Structure 1
Amino acid sequence: MTRFGKKGKLCPRYIDPYEVLQLVGNVDYDLKLPNNMASVHLVLHVLMLKNYRGDPASFFPVEGLGVYENLSYEEVLVEILYRQVKRLRNKEVTTVMVLWRNHVVEGATWESTADMRSCYPHLFIS
């Protein structure tokens, strides 16, 4: 049997959402799994599956995003919300909280100041 990650109590119970190809028998389903899961049997019992319920807040309207043909889009920095300096054993690491276009404030991410300075030098003139 293949284990996913750690074993015991910290073992992940559910891996990822996968497409159900067909119903096999009364309670078994044939799944479309990626190549890296080749050792996992493709037909699973219904008790090993869980319904996937997407979060409606995570869906964005595609119109106006500038989505490319490969369904990707360019993230555009809107504002730097916070700056912080973390002290490690023998060095300091500076990071900034960045608000991206088409994201809410809760979707802001912490990014390395060095990375942001290389991409957006006009924000770090001082």
Structure 2
Amino acid sequence: MTAEKVAIAREKLKAARDRQKMYADPRRRSVTFNVGDCVYLKVSTWKEVIRFGKRGKLGPRYIGPFPINEILNDQTVVLDLPLELAGIHNTFNVCYLRKCKVDDETKILPIKDLKVDLSNKLVEEPIRVVDRKVTKLRNKDIPMVLVEWKHILGSNLTWKQKS
């Protein structure tokens, strides 16, 4: 190739690089963590290795919160993981972490307080039926009930199809 063709190719590569950077920069987030901060840990990449409750789309994306023990550099953090997660290395890149925005520690639900059955499904107990209604579709009517569930952080209301 001649020097002129090389220069044109470099200009095209620089233009493509600048265009990609323009699209990528707004999505980047700069997050700084301190020792003692609580963070959520992304687990969607571990779907095949460890399952946290449900499979597939309904599986949890983040678990935690976990306190930060040590900051190795601006991209690497050491977490204080519980014994249930002893098989996982405790050093993570910051891209797998989300800052915990809960100020009140009483609103954080510990993993050990969750009741899980043998098929790794969360066990919740209904307290009472609050309301009833009928949802009308084109060809059929579906009876629905509003159920109040017993939960550690307070009651939770959901509509369920009456069976």
Higher helix content, 1 or 2: 2
Q: Could you tell me the TM-score, scaled by structure 2's length?
A: 0.34
Larger RCO of the pair (alpha carbons < 8 Å, separation 6+): 2
Q: Could you tell me the TM-score, scaled by structure 1's length?
A: 0.42
Structure with bigger gyration radius: 2
